[in-house]
Structure 1
Amino acid sequence: MKLVAYIRVSTAGQVSDGYGLSIQEKAVRAWAKANGHRIVKVIREEGVSGAKDAVDRPGLSEALLMIQESTAEGLLIPRLDRLARSVTVQEATLAFVWRHGGSVFAADSGDIAEDQDDPYRIAMREMAGVFAGLERRIIVKRLRDGRAAKQAAGRKSVGAYAYGTHGQGEGRDRDAAPNPAETAARARILELRAAGDSYRRIAEQLDTEGLKPRRAATWSAMVVRSICQKAELG
C-alpha cells in the first residue's frame, strides 16, 4: 500500500521526551518496510502543536489532501499522539481519512481501524487521545510554572538572551550568563559610541576588527543601535 508518513514535533514535545523527527522517521520507515508498504512521501512538521486543527497545520493538511486525491492510500504516523493531542482533532482527522477510503497506521500499534462495530476499541482509542491531551496540558503547566519560578527568583524566563549574554545551566537553574566573545564586542560598541561614532561607523569598525554579531555575517547600523539603546536602559 502507498502511504504518506506524517511526523511532528512541538516545542513542548521536544523538551519533554526527545522524540525528535529523525527518530520518528526511522520508526515509520522501519514499520513500512517490515509490513510490506511503500512510503511515497514523508511530511515533517516542526514546532506545531498537536492541539491545532488540520487546517492550521500545513503538513497535516498536505497529507490529508494526498489521501483525498488518492496520491496515497493510507496515512502512517509514528504513534497516535503525533497525529493529535486533542481527541476532537484526532477523531476528525481519522474520520476524514476513512471517509475518503484511506487507512491509518501507527508504527507502534499497527492498523488503526474504523471500528464502527467495536465500541470498546473506539473508547480505548478516544481515551488514548484524552490522555495525550492531558499530557500536553501537564507539560505546558510545567513550563509555565518553571518560568514563574525563574521570574520570582529574578532570573530570565522567556525570550532571547541579550547580546553579550547566553543561557547557562539546566532547567529552572538556567539563566543569563556573560558570553565572552559577545561581551568584548558589546564593550567595543559602547566605547566607540561614547567617542561619538555613528551607528554605521561603529558597524564598519566592528567588521574591520573581526568582531562578530550573533547571527548575521556582518554588522548593521540597526543592530548596533539596538545594543546601544538596551545598554542605556540598563
Structure 2
Amino acid sequence: MTVACYARVSTADQQLDRQIESITDYAQNRLDASLQDVDIYRDKSTGTDTDRSGYQALMDAADAGDIDAVIVHQVSRIARSVSDLESTAERLRGSGVELHIISEGLQMTPDSQDPYQKALFQMLGVFSELEAEIKRQNVREGIAARRQSDEYRHGRAPLGFDKENGELIQQPQYHQICEVLDQVVRDELSQRQAAKQINSSRRTVRRAINERPELYGL
C-alpha cells in the first residue's frame, strides 16, 4: 500500500514535525505501511482555499493512481470549508483512494455506503468552517470591546497589532501569531517555543493568552 501523508501549517515559520510524526506513526501502526511506501506532501499556507502546491500535488497523485490512502492529522489541515472538504473527498473516492483523519478517528473508503459515516464527515466540515468563522467573529467583538477601555485609547498596541489613528490594525504576521497562540493553548507548543517563533517574549505570549484571548480567537 502506498500512503500519502498531508501536513499543513499556516506560515513558513511554523513547523510540520509533529503532524508528520503523528501521520507516519499512524501509517505504520494502523495501515501496516513501511516508511518506504509513505509519501509526504506539505504546505505552509492558509487553508482557506485549495490553491496550495502540496495539496495540488497530492490530488494529482491520487488522480494518477499513485497512492492508495491519504492521511491527515485533523480535518482543518486539508480543508477549512465544507465545499472544499466535500470536493476533496469526492475526488479521492473517485480515484479509489481512502481518506484517514486521525484526530477525529474517521476513515472514508471508496466503496463505503455507510450513511452515518458520510453524515459525520459532512458534520466535521461544517464544524471546521464554523470554528473558523467563530474565531473571526470573536476577534471582531474583542476589538470592539477594547475600544471602550482606557488601555485601548492610551496603551500600547497588543501583540500582532499596530495602532493607526486610534484604531487597531492587524500586522502582516497576525494570523501566524494566532496559530502559534492556539498551539500553546492546545499544549502543542511551550510559551518559550511560541515566543521564539513569533520573535516576542514569554511574558507577552502569556499576557496575550490570559488577558486578551478574544483578540486571537482563543
**What is the TM-score when the length of structure 2 is the normalising length?**
0.62
The DSSP-based 3-state class of the residue aligned with 1:85 is: coil
- Matches for 1:90-169 after TM superposition, within 5 Å: 90-108=85-103, 109=105, 111-114=107-110, 117-149=113-145, 153-154=152-153, 155=157, 156=163, 157=168, 158-159=170-171, 169=204
The one-letter code of the counterpart of 1:70 is: G
- How far apart in 1 are the matches of 2:24 and 2:212? 38
Q: Does 1:4 align with 2:4?
A: yes
Range moving further from structure 2, 63-72 or 149-158: 149-158
Is there any run of 5+ residues in structure 2 with no aligned partner, and where?
158-162, 174-198, 214-218
The one-letter code of the counterpart of 2:98 is: S
The DSSP-based 3-state class of the residue aligned with 1:142 is: helix
The DSSP-based 3-state class of the residue aligned with 2:113 is: coil
- Matches for 1:215-226 after TM superposition, within 5 Å: none
1:63 deviates by 0.5
The DSSP-based 3-state class of the residue aligned with 2:43 is: strand
- How far apart in 2 are the matches of 1:59 and 1:126? 23
- How far apart in 1 are the matches of 2:130 and 2:19? 22
User: Do the aligned partners of residues 123 and 110 (structure 1) sit closer, same or farther apart at CA in structure 2, a change above 3 Å counting?
Assistant: closer
Question: How high is the sequence identity, in percent, across the aligned residues?
Answer: 24
Contact 1:103 1:112 in 2 (8 A): yes
Residue equivalent to 2:77: 82
Contact 2:94 2:110 in 1 (8 A): no
- How far apart in 2 are the matches of 1:130 and 1:160? 28
Structure with max Cα Rg: 1
User: Do the aligned partners of residues 80 and 151 (structure 1) sit closer, same or farther apart at CA in structure 2, a change above 3 Å counting?
Assistant: same
The DSSP-based 3-state class of the residue aligned with 1:71 is: coil
Q: Does 1:66 align with 2:61?
A: yes
1:82 deviates by 1.7
The one-letter code of the counterpart of 1:23 is: R
